[in-house]
């Protein structure tokens, strides 16, 4: 008998680290396996990309409603406004539902998704007591954060 394929609802029913939510059967032991970690990481990446895409798309729709019928002025270069040059400025603009801020915030979410994946991997390797991979993954995380910070 072929093994049934798990659906995304099955994956969502797993609550932190394999423990099922209330109303679902609970596993006898919480164990970490490579397959379980890969499933959680896959869901993390999938959800991160989908959320980022929805945020960028909604910002794009807002932008097109406002500026969709105007012609661009290519004779004069206009860089990004000062408020969109920092993370705090982007977050403030996104919270104020300013069109460019919402788009930029979606792009920040897209950039943060693989960083969150690496950070989760550090935790997963630590729970598996795999010191080598914890150290390597911490180095990768440090390099990612250093490069994002402008290094």
Q: Residue 100: enclosing H or E segment and its boundaries? A: helix 99-127
Contact 101, 92 (CB under 8 A): yes
What backbone torsions phi and psi does residue 88 show, to the nearest 5 degrees? -65, -40
Q: pLDDT by residue (tens digit) across 5-24?
A: 554 445 444 444 444 444 44
Rounded to whole angstroms, the Cα distance separating 111 from 137 reads 17
Quickly list DSSP for 18-87: GEEPTTSPPPSS----HHHHHHHHHHHHHHHHHHHHHHHHHHHHHHHHHHTTSPP--SS-----GGGSSH
What are the structural domain ranges in the chain?
33-67+82-148
What is the average pLDDT score of the chain? 80
CA proximity to 111, closest of 68, 69, 149, 148 = 148
- The whole model's pTM is what? 0.70
Q: How confident is the model at residue 144 (pLDDT cuts 50, 70, 90)?
A: very high
How many CB atoms lie under 10 A from the CB of residue 48?
19
pLDDT tens for each residue of 85-112: 888 899 999 999 999 999 999 999 999 9
User: In this model, does residue 151 exceed pLDDT 70?
Assistant: no
Query: In 98-126, which positions are buried (b, 16+ CB within 10 angstroms) versus exposed (e)?
Result: bbbbbbbbbebbbeebeeebbbbbbebbe
Q: How far apart are CA 65 and CA 19, in angstroms?
A: 44
């Amino acid at each position: 008998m072929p093994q049934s394929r798990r659906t995304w609802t099955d994956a969502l029913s797993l609550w932190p680290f394999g423990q099922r939510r209330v109303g679902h059967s609970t596993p006898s032991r919480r164990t970490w396996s490579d397959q379980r970690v890969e499933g959680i990481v896959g869901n993390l990446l999938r959800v991160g990309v989908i959320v980022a895409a929805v945020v960028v798309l909604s910002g794009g729709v807002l932008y097109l409603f406002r500026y969709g019928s105007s012609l661009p002025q290519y004779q004069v270069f206009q860089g990004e406004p000062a408020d969109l040059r920092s993370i705090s400025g982007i977050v403030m603009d996104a919270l104020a539902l300013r069109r460019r801020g919402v788009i930029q915030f979606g792009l920040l979410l897209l950039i943060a998704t693989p960083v969150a994946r690496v950070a989760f991997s550090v935790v997963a390797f630590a729970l598996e007591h795999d010191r080598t991979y914890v150290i390597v993954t911490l180095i990768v995380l440090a390099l990612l954060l250093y490069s994002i910070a402008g290094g």
